[in-house]
Amino acid sequence: MDLTLLLWAVANGVMVGSIYGLIALGWVLIYKCSGVLNLAMGELTLIGAYLCLTIYTFLIKIGHPLPFASALFLTLLACIVMGYLTERIFLDRLIGEPVLTVIMMTVGLMFVFRGLVGLIWSTDTRIFDPPVFSYDAFIVGGIIIERVYLWSMVAALSLWIIFYLFFKYTPWGLSMQATADDEMAALSLGISVRFVYSAAWIIAFMTAAVGGAFLGAKNGLNISVGELSLLVLPAVVLGGLNSVPGAIVGGIVIGVLQELSGFLLDPYFPGGVKDTAPYVFMVLFLLFKPYGLWGWVRIERV
């Protein structure tokens, strides 16, 4: 086997996986704070990505010097508004209701958002035109690295650092940690749980938008990008549903797994190995480690 090709698959996997890790981070945050499995995460990705594409196209038209970076920045600002509104309109009323109700709400949101995206942007594949990143790749030690992957990783890394600092050093981050740990106690100390939930949804929207924008810049944008971010599920299962570092590591592992299985198994099982491998892995993993690598193991004391 060609070692360089293998390394190439791993490197690509790490980079595309960092995007999954980013989206998974947003997902885990909602789960940690409110115990809700957000099944609409893929649709958040779609909305962010399409919004970014629209702004990008507009900026190109008026000849802005930094179209992609500015589009991404404006999209993030819009995410603050959208995350806040989504939480306030659809989820705030359900605080205190059974978790299953809230999960069904996210299923409803999934279809609504998907429908809205179809209505506004139609269902044809759209591409970032002109392409955001030039196609001439870097070559590092014989490994070919596409620019879009490299920048994805840079974006994911910088957002991780920003969120890390946010959690570690701001009172808001601390409130979120406290709420995730014990909601009742957080309330009694003067932490607004409503604020924490809004913040979680805002961050989820942001990570999804950045992830979606880069996935779209790589392959073009259509409804199936939303399905791609369903990959957060194997990623978070691997990391443990309530671990933020776990989500990041899980995302990267899933990325590598995808690339490797495509590279190693495609010759034998032509077709969609790349798409199914993460889910097969998830099933196997759950059998042996149901709490994930860093999840909280529930210990019952009698």
Partner 1 sequence: MNGATASHRDDVLLELDDISMSFGKVQALAGIGMKVRKGEIHSVIGPNGAGKTVMMNCINGIYQPQIGNVNYKGEKINKLRPHKRAALGISRTFQKIELFGGMTVLDNIRLGRHMHLKTGLISGAFWKGKTQKEEIEAREFIEEEIIDFLEISHIRKKTVHMLPYGLQKRVELGRALAFDPELLLLDEPLAGLNLEEVEDMARYILDLNEEKRWKMTIILVEHDMGVVMDLSNRVLVLNFGNAIMDGTPDEVRQNPEVIKAYLGEEDLYATRR
Work out whether 193 is an interface residue with partner 1 (CB under 8 A). Answer: yes
- Helix axes 273-288 and 244-265, enclosed angle (nearest 10): 130
Work out whether 174 is an interface residue with partner 1 (CB under 8 A). Answer: yes
Stretch that binds partner 1, among 61-69, 144-152, 173-181, 273-281 (CB under 8 A): 173-181
Q: How far is the CB of 242 from partner 1 (least distance, A)?
A: 11
Size of the residue set binding partner 1 (CB under 8 A): 19
Task: Tell me which of 182, 227, 280, 284 binds partner 1, using CB under 8 A.
Answer: 182
Residues in the chain: 302
Q: Which among 23, 45, 16 is positioned nearest to 257, based on CA atoms?
A: 16
Residue 203 and residue 83 in contact, taking contact as beta carbons nearer than 8 Å: yes
Q: How far is the CB of 166 from partner 1 (least distance, A)?
A: 8
Task: Tell me which of 52, 178, 252, 282 binds partner 1, using CB under 8 A.
Answer: 178
Work out whether 181 is an interface residue with partner 1 (CB under 8 A). Answer: yes
Work out whether 184 is an interface residue with partner 1 (CB under 8 A). Answer: yes
Q: For residue 236, with 0-12 CB atoms within 10 Å meaning exposed, 13-18 middle and 19 or more buried, which class applies?
A: buried
Stretch that binds partner 1, among 37-45, 143-151, 175-183, 285-293 (CB under 8 A): 175-183
Work out whether 159 is an interface residue with partner 1 (CB under 8 A). Answer: no
Work out whether 194 is an interface residue with partner 1 (CB under 8 A). Answer: yes
In sequence order, the 6+-apart residues with CB closer than 8 A to the CB of 109 are: 40, 43, 86, 90
Distance CA(197)–CA(192), nearest Å, equals 9
Work out whether 77 is an interface residue with partner 1 (CB under 8 A). Answer: no
Work out whether 36 is an interface residue with partner 1 (CB under 8 A). Answer: no
- Other Cβ atoms within 10 Å of 127 Cβ, number: 14
Q: What is the DSSP letter of 145?
A: E
Work out whether 191 is an interface residue with partner 1 (CB under 8 A). Answer: yes
Q: How far is the CB of 187 from partner 1 (least distance, A)?
A: 4
Work out whether 93 is an interface residue with partner 1 (CB under 8 A). Answer: no
Distance CA(77)–CA(274), nearest Å, equals 34
Place of tokens 């978790």: 99
Footprint of partner 1 (CB under 8 A): 169-172, 174, 177-178, 181-182, 184-185, 187-194
